[in-house]
Chains A and B, each alone.
Chain A
C-alpha cells in the first residue's frame, strides 16, 4: 500500500479532463434535452387540457343549440298542425253553411214552383168549370144530356192534360 505520486497526479488530471469533457458534451446537452422535453410534455398536457375543456364547452353549447332547434321544430309542427286543423274546421263549417243555404234555396224554389202550379191549376179548374157551366146552361138539360155533358167535360179535361 504505497502512494505513487505520479499516479495520483495522473488520476486528478484524468478525472478533471473526463469531467470537463462530459460536462461540455454530455451533461449540458442531455440535461437540457431532458428539461426541454419535460417542459414540452407539460405544455402539451396543459394545452390538451385546455382544448379538451374548450371542446367540452363547445359540445355543451351545440347540444343546447340542437335541443333548442328540436324544440322549435316541434313547436312549428304543432303550430302548423293546429293551423291546418283550424282551417279544415273552418272550411267544413263554411261548406256546411253553404250547402244548407243551397238546400234552403232549392226548397224555396220547389215550394214556389208548387204554389205557382197550384195557382195555375186552380185557375184552369175555374175556367173549365165556367166552360162546363156555360155548356150546361146553353143546352136542354136531361139525364142523358147530363151524362153526355159530364163525359164531354171529362174528355175535354183529358184533352187539356
Chain B
C-alpha cells in the first residue's frame, strides 16, 4: 500500500495530497454554500430551491432521530459532517483522483476518517456535558457501577468503528475500481463508479446518522 507523498510542510505539519484535496473541498463548499446563498430570495430560484431542499431535508431527517430542538442545535455540525464526507467520497469519482499528486479523496485515508470520527466523538462528549452537566458522566455507571469498563469501551469503540467503516468502504471501492481498470479498462470501472456514487452517499448518511444517534443518546434524559 502506497503511503501518501508529503508535498510540503507548514509549521512542521506535513501536507499530503489528502490535505490539499480537503482544502479544495472546503473552497468548493464555501463557494457553493456561502457565496451562492448571499442573496436569498423569498421566491426561490432553482439553485436556491436545491439548497433549501437539502437543508430542510437534512433538518427533518435529523429531527426524526433526535427531536426538533436537538437537531436544530447540532444541525451545523451534522450537516457539515454530511456534506464534507459526501463531497469527499464523490471526489474520488472525478477523473484523475488518486492519480495526481495533490488530488486524493480525503475519506480514502484512515487519517482523515479518524480525524472526523474524533470530531464526532468529542462533539458527543461535549454535547453530553453541555446538556446534562456532570450528570452526563452518570451514564458510564449504568445500569450499575460494574458496567463502567464496558461502557467506557463502548464509548471508545464508536470512533474506531466510525472511522474504519468509512475508510474501508471508500478505500475498498477505489481499490476495486483500480483493479477493474487494470483488468477491463472500458465498462466495468464505470459501473463500479456508478455504484461508488451510491456508496459514497450511503457512507455519508451512515456516518452522520450514527453521530446524530450518539449525540442524541448522550443528551437524552437518563432512564
Contact = CB atoms under 8 A, between A and B. Distances in A.
B197 interface: no
A12 B110 CA distance: 13
Given A2-B3, A19-B76, A34-B52, A7 B84 contact: no
Interface residues of B, number: 44
Interface of B: 1, 3-4, 6, 9, 13-16, 18-19, 22-23, 26, 29-30, 33-34, 37, 40, 42, 51-52, 55-56, 72, 75-77, 79-81, 84, 106, 109-112, 114-116, 118-119, 167
A22 B76 contact: yes
Contacts, number: 110
B28 to A, nearest CB: 10
B40 A33 contact: yes
A31 interface: yes
Nearest to B20: A10
Contacts of B111: 3-5, 7-8, 11
Q: Is the interface of A mostly helix, strand, loop or mixed?
A: helix
Interface in A10-52: 10-12, 14-19, 21-23, 25-27, 29-31, 33-34, 37, 40
A11 B29 contact: no
B29 A18 contact: yes
Given A2-B3, A22-B80, A27-B75, A34 B55 contact: yes
